[in-house]
Amino acid sequence: MNPAAFRPPFLAVLFLLAAALRSLPLAGARLQVAMTVVRNASSVGAFCLDGSLPAYHLDRGFGAGAGNWLLQFEGGGWCNDVESCLERAKSRRGSTQLMNKWEDFNGILSNNASLNPDFYNWNRVKLRYCDGGSFGGDALFHNGTSPLYFKGQKIWESIILDLLPKGLGTANKALLSGCSAGGLATFLHCEDFTNYLPRNATVKCLSDAGFFLDLQDIGSTHTMRGFFKDLVALQGMNPNLNGNCTASSTLPDLCIFPQYALKYIATPFFILNSAYDVYQFHHGLVPPSADIHGRWKHCKMNPAACSKQQIEQLQGLRSSMLSALKLFYQYSSKGGMFINSCFAHCQSESQNTWFAKGSPTIDNKTIAGTVGDWYFNRRNIKEIDCAYPCDSTCHNLIP
């Protein structure tokens, strides 16, 4: 049972839907930002899976935001065995040579004040994802043929070292963000990000759709746990997990799960996630290995087709997420959250979900408004939506 093996069809559907939502016509010009390759990254041993050099896209801040920095980890699944990593190394997810050299900056990366009211004039950076291990690995695999580089940790370090003299090193305000595998990376790197920045800077972190749960699937198997354990082992991630968490855990590899690492993160953190996150629904709660008879086939593609019992299991996914967040909700005075009840995955990167007419809200507050209010201490915010199907503002990836 290897989730890597069943990922393609599901993610293909997800990404097509996400791309379709993103490409809806928007007023105003598109912002495209060129790739910067980190030429000297090899001096710290930072390479993409295939050995190509790491890269990022930087759009400079201006005006009052010129001293502030937003870094966003790109997402895109993981590879947790040699076979799937060899495949990935030959794709745009494992090689900067095969990637788009220009990226659209939308949503939280937009430079337009009416589309991104609080961060539009900051320096905005997209860190390209090419290691398959949420920027957290440090290992090398070779068996005679060309090697596979599991060097996500080094990629992260090399990009930071490149940005420090460009102004990051004297930042006034900073926000580390990312979605999906990139949202998981914000949990992994939030604390060391803080350590690279001036002591008097305001530093905060935001994870979008990165709160992957240590969940039992519908067949009572810990499918995601097995998947992440293989990932940590293959990519040599253990030393880069939160040290306070691994030191106090009998199962240190589980510290890759945000629910265990969260209490050891002192930096103010915002958790943006859907309680019915489509990736977790399709891979954590109902992986194909737990649904060999296809009883969930229709429900997975259309919640209106779910049986009463299936809806109950989906409500269980929401309950698991809320209970994993309970202490954070109650005790994290600097934390923020926006847990809505949509069949979504990644809501900060596309304009339609981040900030637009008709974008998702809780208590009439958009995601951009809530994140901004939290970052700038305008109000103390932990928003939890009512349970499915009460939210009529969703942009669902499945109808």
Active site residues: 180, 277, 345
Q: Which residue is nearest to ligand NAG (CB)?
A: 28
Rounded CA-CA distance 234/224 in Å is: 15
Is 230 within 8 Å of 137 (Cβ atoms)? no
Of 198 and 239, the one with the shorter C-beta distance to ligand NAG is: 198
Output the smallest distance, CB 60 to ligand NAG, in A: 16
Partners of 141 in the beta sheet?
A: 148
Output the smallest distance, CB 141 to ligand NAG, in A: 8
> Which long-range contacts (C-beta less than 8 Å, at least 24 apart) are formed by 162-169?
162/36, 162/38, 162/41, 162/56, 163/56, 163/58, 163/69, 163/71, 163/125, 164/196, 166/58, 167/67, 167/69, 167/123, 168/69, 168/123, 168/196, 168/197, 169/196, 169/197, 169/198
Output the smallest distance, CB 99 to ligand NAG, in A: 20
Rounded CA-CA distance 398/298 in Å is: 11
Of 112 and 352, the one with the shorter C-beta distance to ligand NAG is: 112
Output the smallest distance, CB 199 to ligand NAG, in A: 8
Output the smallest distance, CB 314 to ligand NAG, in A: 27
- Report the SS3 class of residue 71: strand
By CB under 6 A, name the binding residues for ligand NAG: 26-29, 40-41, 43-44, 82-83, 112, 114-115, 143-145, 158, 161-162, 165, 172, 198, 200-201, 244, 264, 266, 364
Is 276 within 8 Å of 389 (Cβ atoms)? no
Unique residue bearing structure tokens 């710290």: 44
Of 40 and 302, the one with the shorter C-beta distance to ligand NAG is: 40
Output the smallest distance, CB 138 to ligand NAG, in A: 15
DSSP-derived letter for residue 283 is I
Per-residue tokens: 360: 């998702």
Of 201 and 215, the one with the shorter C-beta distance to ligand NAG is: 201
Of 219 and 358, the one with the shorter C-beta distance to ligand NAG is: 358
Of 29 and 292, the one with the shorter C-beta distance to ligand NAG is: 29
DSSP E strand boundaries for 152-311 = 173-179, 202-208, 269-274
Q: 210, 178, 152: which is closest to 72 by C-alpha?
A: 178
Per-residue tokens: 76: 């895109």
